[in-house]
Amino acid sequence: MHIHPDDVFVDARAVVHALSPDEPVILNRPHAAVRAARFFIEKFPGKSLYAVKANPSPDLLRVLWDAGITHYDVASISEVRLVRATLPQAVLCFMHPVKTPAAIAEAYHRHGVKTFSLDTAEELTKIVDACRDGEGNSARDLRLAVRLRVSSEYSELSLASKFGCDLTEAPRLLQRARQHCDWLGVCFHVGSQAMSPFAFVQALDRTRAAIAQAGVVIDMIDVGGGFPSIYPGLEPPAMEDYFAIIARHFEALPIAYNAELWCEPGRALCAEYSSLIVRVERRRGDELFINDGAYGALYDAAHVGWRFPVRALGDAEGESMQDFSFYGPTCDDADYMQGPFALPADIEAGDYVEIGMLGAYGAAMKTGFNGFGNAQQVVVADEPMASIYDGSRLKPAVDNVVSLR
Ligand SMILES: *Cc1c(COP(=O)(O)O)cnc(C)c1O
């Protein structure tokens, strides 16, 4: 069957019924991304940037833009070009602390990027030099953010060891950066899928110490990403609790009275956007050989043992359940997802399975290794397998529901 890009399927079963797909199919739920974006826009006590690396799909970028996300955290010159080409009006912030001079120059001179992050004096010099005009004059409109190293102890995926300057270096770097810009921020990242709002308390305490020692005016605090989604065994507190704690600690910082508060969610804005249909090609006891895996959308399932929700799409659903592990399609032993993934005990080759919550760091990570990696994309109208935004959360501290526009 030929599908038109505007076709909307009811759900995964309808897709299987219509296509009997021989290769994996990515199911996109624009309504879920809109809901996530509206949630951040209405409830986060500051500005929400979308961290593009979580899922750079142009369709998703347009959905988020239409929902009201105006600022985008980009980390490479390819992401700069992609977002600029897709969303000509968007504000781009180049938040990778190690950039090439050519990337900085192209971003600044060609794509209008003014905001850059840094965590060393060398990077500061690089940015200042790359943004000079033809006569060698310094740029007057730079907006710089010094990246602090903070703990990842509350997060499932650490971002603590690679980037960020520590408290002994931060005050001096803030003072130096202040000399090159009229707008200076501090940013950090508590690690991805932060399972407690307390992660942000620790990071903001460290931010306060750095600012107090530096004694410079700070115009922006960027609390980064790390906002969680829901996966089996990873059920975080209500998002409201994160926002409330961040607001309280932000207000207590020694910063400019009109300082801005930013965040850069990746996962939280797109995890619910996509799921994936795979087919069981072979069963060996409690191991299922499926047609996507570690080199496809299931990188995190293989490499960090992430469990994603699954459901069988055949008639077997409702029978007694059993725990399975998955092998992906490539010839590599590492193409293995331990799970456990609970599926009907009588599942067999030829059956289809939907794997949920793959909109962040899933669909975006597919490679063509070993000749696998093709996947058709379609739009479906049903709800994601779990949602942090649909009001179904247990005991949210405050009302967690937003209306769709
Ligand atoms: C990856 C990244 C993000 C997004 O992180 P999530 O955990 O997906 O929210 C935000 N900011 C920076 C600088 C990043 O590297």
Choose among 268, 273, 264, 270: nearest CA to 50: 264
Closest residue by CA, ligand 1 atom 5: 225
* CA–CA separation, 139 and 157 (whole Å): 36
Ligand 1 atom showing the smallest separation from residue 264 Cα: 10
* CA–CA separation, 132 and 109 (whole Å): 9
DSSP 231: B
Judge if 8-27+274-380 and 31-270 fold alike in CATH terms. Answer: no
Cβ(192) – ligand 1 distance below 6 Å: yes
* CA–CA separation, 252 and 262 (whole Å): 16
53: CA distance to ligand 1 center in Å? 8
* CA–CA separation, 199 and 137 (whole Å): 41
Cβ(147) – ligand 1 distance below 6 Å: no
Mind giving me the DSSP string for 345-383? TT--TT-EEEE---TTTTGGG---GGG----EEEEE-S-
* CA–CA separation, 68 and 84 (whole Å): 16
pLDDT of residue 370: 80
Q: At the top level of CATH, which class does the domain 31-270 belong to? A: alpha beta
**Which residues on adjacent β-strands are paired with residue 183?**
143
79: CA distance to ligand 1 center in Å? 14
Phi, psi (rounded to 5 degrees) for 116: -135, 145
Q: Would you call 340 helix, strand, or coil by DSSP?
A: strand
pLDDT of residue 401: 46
Question: What are the tokens at 371?
Answer: 């000749």
Q: Are strands 155-157 and 192-194 parallel, antiparallel or unpaired?
A: antiparallel
Cβ(97) – ligand 1 distance below 6 Å: no
Choose among 391, 392, 390, 395: nearest CA to 34: 390
Q: Where are the domains of the chain?
A: 8-27+274-380, 31-270
The pTM score is 0.94
Question: What are the tokens at 102?
Answer: 């050519």
* CA–CA separation, 304 and 307 (whole Å): 9
Contacts of residue 299, Cβ cutoff 8 Å, sequence gap at least 6: 361, 362, 365
Is the preceding peptide bond at 340 cis, omega within 30 degrees of 0?
yes
Task: Establish how many alpha carbons lie within 13 A of residue 93's alpha carbon, considering only the half-sphere containing its beta carbon.
Answer: 24
316: CA distance to ligand 1 center in Å? 39
Site to probe by mutation for ligand 1, drawn from 155, 192, 231 as the one with most ligand atoms within 8 Å of Cβ, is 192
309: CA distance to ligand 1 center in Å? 23
Phi, psi (rounded to 5 degrees) for 195: -90, -5
**Which residues on adjacent β-strands are paired with residue 222?**
187, 262
Is there a contact between 342 and 310 (Cβ–Cβ < 8 Å)?
A: yes
Query: From 2.40.37.10, 3.40.50.80, 1.10.3720.10, 2.60.40.10, which CATH number describes the 8-27+274-380 domain?
Result: 2.40.37.10
Other beta carbons within 10 Å of 22: 10
pLDDT of residue 1: 62
Choose among 86, 207, 191, 184: nearest CA to 127: 184
Question: What are the tokens at 302?
Answer: 């293989």
Choose among 60, 65, 123: nearest CA to 96: 123
* CA–CA separation, 341 and 309 (whole Å): 7
Other beta carbons within 10 Å of 244: 16
Q: What is the chain's pLDDT, residue by residue, as a tens digit (405 residues)?
A: 666 767 899 999 999 999 999 999 999 999 999 999 999 999 999 999 999 999 999 999 999 999 999 999 999 999 999 999 999 999 999 999 999 999 999 999 999 999 999 999 999 999 999 999 999 999 999 999 999 999 888 888 887 788 999 999 999 999 999 999 999 999 999 999 999 999 999 999 999 999 999 999 999 999 999 999 999 999 999 999 999 999 999 999 999 899 999 999 999 999 999 999 999 999 999 999 999 999 999 999 998 889 999 999 987 556 699 999 999 999 999 999 999 999 999 999 999 999 999 999 998 788 888 888 888 899 999 999 999 997 766 554 544 445 443
